[in-house]
Chains A and B, each alone.
Chain A
């Protein structure tokens, strides 16, 4: 006999999470208010602004070669920088968590520096080092590579500011990773490569993805450190945030808002995609 009163076992969003802790209503209320005030309201103001140009005006604004070039540059280099930080961040986190050596704590603290440094200071420091007359820039120039004032310079700055996000996302998860699981895999005859690919990486994947997406998001919005090293040539090394500032300085508020809105939409779509991937990995990686 089928019990009709019993709900079907579909994973449907529910209003109440069963929890022994009280305060769901208050918690949700505060969350919505806070997010609404801090995140949604300013974004709504941004979303309203460009339409004074009309739909075709916004489209015209975004279709300008200079705007598309800047958007491509910002999102492309941010993605590349975040992807480079994935293996390097993994390696650094692994070294800091799994090994004991003198100076480990100092190295650990160093990772946070790109967080703490004012971005303009980082930009000036990077451009001093990578400029054609700087210590690294002159070396690179000798073998014919242009670092500062080229897309490569922007890439370097974005890698610099993104690294801590990856390392700091991975570290706590690695610390919780039981060495016994790996040992069990070994006793069952898994090779080293198998242990890394089938045991360690799946467990780390959600944290790695979240670290990479944080680094990516930060890089897309980064302004201070990049403008000093970029050279800022329209169509070539002009990042989208700088183009927004330039438009503002020409009193083109609507045009600036249009580019800003495009950035928000693109970034939001990418982050939703990354979130979906993360959920998938999290399910798969669960023991």
Chain B
């Protein structure tokens, strides 16, 4: 056993310890002993969502199998979380902001097959979301659509698209607006002007929200829809949500990390967990936390919260994540070329 293997084990605690025990020949009789701990490695704005879903799943699992389980959650910028899993964080499931980050785990660490996204319904995305504008109460800058953001004096807050999944969706939404109103050249021109209006570049979505809501920096926050609602719930009615004329259908995908669940003996538990996300119970929780549910009943129940605006998709407008990532966010890509801090 390699040295890194041991250190990685050391990092994780309960789940890995179980795997280690099962691997020892003397304790092989424990083959029937299933792991009872899951680690869900997720992105920034899902803390509250998964806290509630985890409790519901633990209850459901206990009722179904009699086994008591613990689900641990880890949150951070989507790219950072993917890298942690590549570097050995023992995630049983990942629930990240965009498919490109899970692709990286499949490509670099080979912890799951490349076709992971076809294993669960709807591109492995149990819910969707979008990018909206959060402005100060009463909308003093009269911001109604994308062109308003590049008026002189307006400060926009959005994280660094290089490190934040949400910021990549926001960038692509802005780009899609430019595409629709003049093609590639116009789109590049628009995002260039847009990022000139950014006084800071936080590294993650939560950091951006704090900068905007607590530090009072900037006039518009380009936010995940759920994060915008959450901010209003947290900080009271100091803010308004503005829906632009067009945005993007954000599809945050989920996947079981095959190699890790084999090691922890948690395959059934992990697969059950992700399937549970599509269940009516979980879909209702998803709607409650301002993510857009896939299931019809939950979607109808919370429909009033989600203003129906035209949403472009990553597949139709940008040719999928692999292509979008390479064109826009790789070193030397469009973002690097257009970004110049003012």
Q: Which residues of A contact B (CB under 8 A)?
A: 127-128, 131-134, 148-149, 227-228, 231-236, 242, 245-246, 248-252, 255
Contact = CB atoms under 8 A, between A and B. Distances in A.
Given A249-B77, A250-B331, A233 B215 contact: no
Interface stretch (B24-32, B52-60, B194-202, B290-298): B194-202
Interface in B154-195: 160, 162-163
Given A131-B215, A132-B216, A233 B200 contact: yes
B1 to A, nearest CB: 20
B239 to A, nearest CB: 15
Contacts of B125: none
Given A246-B163, A249-B77, A234 B215 contact: no
A236 B340 CA distance: 10
B83 interface: yes
B108 interface: yes
Contact of B215 (A148, A232, A236): A148
A134 B203 CA distance: 21
Interface string B200-229: 111100010000001111000000000000
8 contacts: A133-B216, A149-B200, A231-B199, A232-B201, A246-B203, A248-B83, A249-B77, A251-B108
Interface in B100-114: 104, 108
Contacts of A235: 340-341
B45 interface: no
A232 B202 contact: yes
B330 to A, nearest CB: 8
Secondary structure at the B interface, as helix, strand, loop or mixed, is loop
Contacts of A228: 207
Contact of B160 (A127, A131, A246, A251): A246
Interface residues of B, number: 27
B203 A251 contact: no
A234 B339 contact: yes
A30 B331 CA distance: 45
Given A133-B216, A251-B104, 13 more contacts: A131-B214, A131-B215, A149-B200, A232-B200, A232-B201, A233-B198, A236-B341, A242-B203, A246-B160, A246-B203, A248-B83, A250-B331, A251-B86
B79 interface: yes
Given A234-B341, A251-B104, A149 B160 contact: no
A47 B181 CA distance: 49
B214 to A, nearest CB: 7
Interface of B: 77, 79-80, 83, 86, 104, 108, 160, 162-163, 198-203, 207, 214-217, 329-331, 339-341
A172 B199 CA distance: 45
Top 7 nearest A-B pairs by Cβ distance? Answer: A133-B216, A231-B200, A131-B215, A233-B341, A249-B79, A232-B201, A249-B163
A250 B199 contact: no
A11 B108 CA distance: 55
A232 B340 CA distance: 13
Contact of A250 (B79, B216, B340): B79
Contacts of A234: 201, 339, 341
Nearest to A127: B215
Contacts of A132: 215-217
A252 B332 CA distance: 13
B262 to A, nearest CB: 24
B200 to A, nearest CB: 4
Contact of A252 (B199, B201, B202, B331): B331
B217 A131 contact: yes
Contacts of B207: 228
A127 B83 CA distance: 28
Contact of B203 (A127, A128, A227, A252): A227
Nearest to B108: A251
A131 B199 CA distance: 12
A151 to B, nearest CB: 12
Contact of A231 (B83, B108, B163, B201): B201
Nearest to A242: B203
A245 B163 CA distance: 9
A232 B203 contact: yes
Nearest to B330: A250
Contacts of A231: 199-201
A131 B215 CA distance: 6
Contacts of B340: 235
Contacts of A134: 215
Contacts of B79: 249-250
Contacts of B201: 231-234
Contacts of A242: 203
A111 to B, nearest CB: 28
Contacts of A148: 215
A260 to B, nearest CB: 16
A232 B160 contact: yes
B268 to A, nearest CB: 31
Nearest to B87: A248
Contacts of B331: 250, 252, 255
A252 B108 CA distance: 12
Nearest to A230: B200
Contact of B216 (A131, A246, A249): A131
A131 B202 CA distance: 14
B221 to A, nearest CB: 15
